[in-house]
Amino acid sequence: MYFLKGLIIGLSVAAPVGPIGLLCIQRTLNKGKKSGFFSGLGAATADTVYGLIAAFGLTFISNFLISNQTFIRFIGGLFLIYLGIKTFLSTPANNAAKSNEGTGILDDYLSTLFLTITNPMTIMSFLAIFAGLGLGLGNTSSNLSALIMVIGVFSGSALWWFLLSNCINLFKNKIGTNALKYINIISGFIIISFGVIAIGKIFNLI
């Protein structure tokens, strides 16, 4: 029951199209489904870390993240701009052989892990979810239920990125190099915009 709830939550958190979704789509089209999946898996891992912090009442960590959220979000905004520029300037492979699908998988994973972990507001969502369900309050049975739910969150998020990367991969060979260039440019511009908006909100400019 708790696993199913976690699975639904994981799917719901991962599904909205944001910078991570764009990176997953762009990398799948340019480098293959493995790259897209591991990009999403980085985000799923970060969500799981925040879920564990919320579930087991690690208040010293959550308080630190929340109290320093302005600085952390600023770093995340800068990193978004960096990834956007990198995406904007990336050159698509001419064919499947040159795409070298296995190259840079760890970089793809770590970049989205870092990007997601620099959004401390995510932990607020999980704190609210677990508090609402009465989980992670210190007793053994509650902690076990919370752990099962966190595993469900990771599974749901990972399932979404697996489905997305495989669905996008079906269209990979139908899109020409010129179209991929435009996709990279548009994706890069949108990701840069996410970063600029994130920083702008910190300084009340937006």
> Domain limits of the chain?
2-202
138 CB-side CA count, 13 A: 1
Query: What pTM was computed for the model?
Result: 0.81
Q: How far apart are the first and last CA of the chain?
A: 42
Which single residue is written with the structure tokens 């897209």? 36
Give exposure, 28-60, as e/b (b: 16+ Cβ within 10 Å). Answer: bbbbbbbbbbbbbbbbbbbbbbbbbbbbbbeee
pLDDT below 70 — which residues of the chain?
A: 57-59, 92-103, 130-142, 206
pLDDT value of position 190:
93
pLDDT value of position 83:
92
pLDDT value of position 200:
93
Can you give the C-alpha Rg of the chain in angstroms? 18
- Three-state DSSP class for residue 172: helix
pLDDT value of position 171:
85
